[in-house]
Amino acid sequence: MNPTLKPPPTEVPLIHSVTELYKAIYILASQLPKRDRYGIWSKIESLSIEALARVIEAAFAEKKDKSSPLKSARTHIEILKRLIRLAHQLKIITDTAYLQLETLVISISKQVSRWIISVA
C-alpha cells in the first residue's frame, strides 16, 4: 500500500472491532437455549449488524455526513451494552462470555465517541 494514499474505508479499525463483536455474538448463539437464542439474543445479533452497517456507512460518507451514522451507531452500541448486561443478569451467558463481549463493546463505544468528536 502506498503510504501517501488514504486507506480504503473498509480498513477502518472500528469496522474490524464491530465485526469481531458480531462474530463473538454469533458464535455464542449456538450455545444458547432456543428460547434465548430467538428472544433477546436475536435482538442483540440484529443490533450488532445494524451497528456494523452504520459504521460502514460512516466510513464511506463525506466528512460532513459522517456524524449522523456515527450517532446512530453509538445508540446501537449503547443498547447492545444494556442488552448484553441483561443477558448476563438473566444467566443466559456466562461470566466469561459477558466479560469478553463487554470488553469489546466498551472499546467500540470509545472508538465511536472519538470518531464523532473528530468529525464535529
Q: Quick one: average pLDDT of 99-116?
A: 96
DSSP of 11-66: G-HHHHHHHHHHHHHHHHHTTS-HHHHTTHHHHHHHHHHHHHHHHHHHHHS-GGGS
* Cα 53 from Cα 62, distance rounded (Å): 16
Residue 1 clears pLDDT 50, i.e. is over it = no
* Cα 120 from Cα 107, distance rounded (Å): 20
34-79 pLDDT, tens per residue? 988 999 999 999 999 999 999 999 999 998 999 999 999 999 999 9
Classify burial at 61, counting beta carbons within 10 Å of its beta carbon; exposed 0-12, middle 13-18, buried 19 or more: middle
How much is the pLDDT for 45? Answer: 97
Of 1.10.1530.10, 3.40.50.980, 1.10.8.640, 1.20.1440.60, the CATH number of 13-119 is: 1.20.1440.60
Q: Quick one: average pLDDT of 1-12?
A: 57
Give the domain ranges of the chain: 13-119
pTM: 0.88
What angle, rounded to 10 degrees, do the helices at 67-89 and 95-119 form? 160
